[in-house]
Amino acid sequence: MSGKPKILFVCDSREKLDELFGAAADDYEWVVVRNPMRALAYLTREQFEGVFVSKDYLRQAFEVGKLLQNEQILEGMPDGVVLLDSENTVLWANDQVRRWSGQERLEGSNFYNALGSPEILGPDFCPFHTALATGSASSSTLRAHDNHFFQVHAAPVREVGGPPRHLIVTVRDVTSEMLQQQKLAAIHQAGMELADLTPEELFQMSVTERIELLKSNILHHTKDLLKFDVVEIRLLDAKTNRLEPLLSLGMEPEAATRVLFAQPQNNGVTGFVAATGKSYLCEDTTEDPLYLRGSRGAKSSLTVPLVLHDEVIGTFNVESPQPRAFSESDLQFLEIFTRDVAVALNTLELLVAEKATTAAESVEAIHSAVALPVDEILNEAVNVMERYIGHEPEVVERLQRILRNARDIKQVIQSVGQKMAPVQAHPQGMMVEERPGLRGRRVLLVDEDSSVRSAAHALLERCGCIVETAPNGSQAVFMVRNMLPEGGYDVVIADIRLPDTSGYDFMCTLQEILETDTVPLGLMTGFGYDPGHSIVKARQAGLQAVLYKPFRLDQLLDAVEKILAATGPVQT
């Protein structure tokens, strides 16, 4: 220790000190720094008798002084505040950053090391470098140990006569927000997995097996992801208004079998939720007049409606032995999860847990397996026929017989199936409202996707339509031309983007073949996708209907009826 008064001197160089003070400089212990920001770091670490600032740095020193004056405010902030140099070295940090780092002094430390070398998640993977290089603020998210998340915002400190060399960085703890986002993503993924079956797997499972699969998946995700141990699901019987139990875990036997209806009074919280379609958070069961005893010792409950296409199809109830155990976040998470539960119930055809007869399942399977292969026979036959028309009458006649026989095969299977499997034997998903105007109508569906062509058979033939399909525009043109002697197709539905043509060009070709501007055509498209403005041009040319994928059965039937109404009287 020299025993001399220590002075902090902000100037360009040691030579400047000697120039100003000469021999008198030896009477003091000097610490020379080249900018006020570095001086700030020294002031936070060491004691000085005085500070001398060269006039060249007076303005910057004034700004630093203001920062020091506001230090008490910065210390009390819930967010962290750090002053860094161009090497990411901490020149000053408030108490919040020191608490997060677990260190009492951070001056001289690397910022990232102080926070345990966190992973940079972006969007800017070099936020401090970017801020200094561009002179503009930059932000990013960091993930530290123990799944702790911070959001950093780096703002450059503008300096006179040169680029910025220091950053003021604010640090905010965003752990709760990030964990909530992660949980929402996990809930969404879990919902998609509830009924994650291929068509082949779905076909091979009985209704009972589908019920057990869904129950198992729901319980797994409810316990492991949502952390709920008591669960009850009831489905609404629309005819009786009764809430039928589907799944119960942790409920008293009397409660699990209790008869409940979708009514706001005298049917507990479950009946109220089913009747109103509103979620209900029961914070204390001992004080809530709606609550009916469910699980042993339950002190709070959370009940949300199962909603499908804006209609309540059931309820989902969870309970806890702790009062006020559920928060608004729990309510939000459960509402999101139950949307997927409702979709899974619909996908697996569980709205009515009645097993279809073996005859109904067998006929449906046979028809599904035969429909597309017969369509391929029709496509190939008309394709060959196009080459021989006007040249080989005998060949054309034989091909016409093949076409008639192939069509008869489908009609026989459909007719036999209707006789073998009465309406009450069909699963709920196969039942449709009566639409007599569609019975016997010929429909051609054109789409490259075989699953869409298969779905057209499954859906439209339930209403008595005679359905044929084609994979592209050329085959469809052959099919349309071949059907003209039989009266033509009543409705043609085509994808807007076929492998060999657009929806609009396909429409123009149909107008030429049918010799009319009004063709019985509807176009299918995904939301927001209209290559070449095909729909706009087709509508201007007289398009009858647009169907957006994915579509429900009622939307498909409505589109067919709309086309029929626009192009001719509906048969009854």
pLDDT at residue 276, rounded to an integer: 94
pLDDT at residue 24, rounded to an integer: 67
This model's pTM is above 0.75:
no
Q: How many CB atoms lie within 10 A of CB 566?
A: 16
Q: Which residues contact 509 (CB under 8 A, 6 or more apart)?
A: 473, 477, 501
Radius of gyration of the chain measured on its C-alpha atoms: 37
DSSP state of 198: -
Q: Yes or no: say if 189 and 178 are a contact pair by the CB < 8 Å rule.
A: no
Q: Yes or no: say if 520 and 544 are a contact pair by the CB < 8 Å rule.
A: yes
pLDDT at residue 189, rounded to an integer: 67
Q: CA 44, CA 91: separation in Å to the nearest integer?
A: 8
Of residues 537, 183, 428, 500, the one with CA closest to residue 327: 183
Q: Yes or no: say if 314 and 236 are a contact pair by the CB < 8 Å rule.
A: yes
Strand-pair category, 138-144 with 148-156: antiparallel
pLDDT at residue 334, rounded to an integer: 83
Residue 458 in tokens: 């499954």
Q: CA 148, CA 172: separation in Å to the nearest integer?
A: 11
Q: 3-state DSSP call for residue 572?
A: coil
Q: Yes or no: say if 326 and 294 are a contact pair by the CB < 8 Å rule.
A: no
Q: pLDDT tens, position by position, for the chain (572 residues)?
A: 567 777 666 666 666 666 666 666 677 677 776 666 566 666 556 666 666 665 565 555 555 554 444 455 455 567 888 888 888 888 888 888 888 888 888 888 898 988 888 999 888 888 989 988 888 889 999 888 878 899 989 888 776 667 888 888 888 888 877 877 776 676 666 666 665 665 555 556 666 676 677 777 777 777 776 777 888 989 898 889 999 988 888 889 999 999 999 999 999 999 999 999 999 999 999 999 999 998 888 999 999 999 888 899 999 998 999 999 888 888 888 888 888 888 777 766 544 333 344 445 555 666 666 778 888 888 888 888 877 776 677 777 888 888 887 777 777 766 655 554 444 444 444 445 568 888 889 999 999 988 888 888 888 888 888 899 999 999 999 999 989 988 899 999 999 889 999 888 999 999 999 988 889 999 988 755 565 677 888 888 888 888 887 777 788 888 999 999 887 654 43
pLDDT at residue 413, rounded to an integer: 67
Q: Yes or no: say if 410 and 370 are a contact pair by the CB < 8 Å rule.
A: yes
